[in-house]
Structure 1
């Protein structure tokens, strides 16, 4: 493959990756990355389910410091966001067991220090290479951009 064609393909792949990153973060900023307080609300529910692997809805409600109606509403919201799934117990069909979905597992494992789990696909060596390449590209393009980019609060970066 000639250099010109390779440059075009790499640019297209980078643009696709950038688009997917943005879509991923847009879809998940109201989910896994917003559970700042793991000791309350939906974060607490996810933590409890993660700790147990599966738990009956009754046992979960008993562990929470809230009314059953409030807990049930939070459980419904988590199910709607596809963080949990409820299934009838194999042993007792009257019992609903709650499990984390893969999306829910991702939400539950996020710590207060943001760690994007999507980067776990890379080895430490690959992350170092990726960091080096991104830094090199940023240093090349940044002086060519008229306006400095804004951070997530709308402030201009130095």
Structure 2
């Protein structure tokens, strides 16, 4: 298989894996087996804040794949649940910094116990290799996606 054919095959396999992961999470987030999907909604927000420690509301919204209005609504809900606090930056009063509360840290850590069954097929070494490869791909792709304005449904630009 030449380089171009291999690139196409790998891309197709990745897209299939992504689709299967999405279906797996969707099917397993309902019913008797319930888990918080850290990669969506409020779980995603808690995870991002936990990884940053402190993050501005603008930076948080930029990392989420949703409209700013939807993100702001989720942020308000998390604040109401006392999972996060928002406070104005000392350096720039127009900037809102977001932090996890102790209650929010507990909620974010609860999902750490989640282990997708599919990853049990990999050895610890293979998981580390997979993690390394995903980090390389994310580092390559993220600057190309994050810094370009995205068109959003329902937004006028």
TM-score (norm 1): 0.49
TM-score (norm 2): 0.49
